[in-house]
């Protein structure tokens, strides 16, 4: 019920007024929740208007309850920047998440990895992989050479440690690993079977 009411008030008619009213609020739970609704409705510019003025002052302390809300706050702002093509600002938020919450950053690592690859930033990509959690390190390293993806390498990864995005990449790599195990002739025969899966 609350979700339906929130979505009703997030329609274009109400958004400017709500964003103005929230402009001075320092409650990160409210800001994080409202930005989640805007994110679900793909209102990226509105998320930036709402959240961008504050993040420089945010300090994340894992002992505080507001820590998880600051994480979502930063992550939602990062997604908004990414979807509006502001990749340097996206990178800035993701790097802050990695610094503030190193144990809860698989999704941020994956997003940064994609930014670096898109911008052909090889050194930054290699440094990110070197410092990433082991499961992300294995997964992202395989992205450089799809022909070398194999089930043996995938079996080294604990899927429970992966973010949703990384789990989707893992599932894609499972199909690639199956494809890679076939000889050239078998690849032609089994290509349709893999598509059916």
Rg (CA), the chain: 20
Q: How confident is the prediction along the chain (197 residues), in pLDDT tens digits per residue?
A: 334 444 444 455 455 566 666 666 777 777 777 888 888 888 899 889 888 887 655 655 444 555 677 777 888 898 899 899 998 898 888 888 777 766 556 667 767 777 777 777 777 777 777 777 788 788 877 877 888 899 999 999 988 877 766 788 888 899 899 888 887 777 777 766 666 65
Give, for 85, the enclosing helix (H) or strand (E): none
Q: What is the dihedral of CA 112, 118, 121, 122, to 10 degrees?
A: 90
| Domain ranges (residues) in the chain | 1-101, 105-197
Token pair 């979807």 is found at 83
pTM (2 d.p.):
0.59
Residue with the two structure tokens 């050239």: 184
Q: How many CA atoms lie within 13 A of 143 on its CB side?
A: 20
């Amino acid at each position: 019920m609350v979700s339906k009411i929130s979505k009703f008030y997030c329609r274009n008619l109400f958004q400017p007024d709500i964003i103005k009213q929230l402009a001075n609020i320092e409650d990160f739970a409210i800001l994080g929740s409202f930005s989640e609704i805007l994110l679900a409705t793909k209102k990226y510019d509105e998320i930036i208007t709402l959240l961008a003025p504050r993040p420089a002052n945010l300090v994340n302390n894992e002992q505080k309850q507001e820590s998880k809300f600051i994480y979502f706050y930063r992550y939602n702002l990062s997604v908004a920047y990414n979807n509006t093509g502001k990749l340097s600002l996206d990178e800035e938020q993701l790097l802050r998440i990695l610094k503030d919450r190193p144990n809860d950053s698989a999704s941020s690592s994956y997003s940064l990895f994609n930014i670096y690859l898109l911008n052909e930033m090889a050194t930054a990509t290699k440094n990110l992989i070197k410092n990433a959690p082991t499961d992300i390190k294995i997964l992202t390293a395989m992205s450089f050479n799809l022909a070398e993806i194999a089930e043996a390498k995938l079996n080294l990864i604990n899927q429970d440690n992966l973010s949703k995005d990384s789990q989707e990449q893992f599932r894609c790599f499972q199909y690639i690993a199956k494809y890679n195990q076939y000889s050239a002739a078998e690849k032609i025969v089994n290509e349709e079977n893999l598509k059916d899966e």
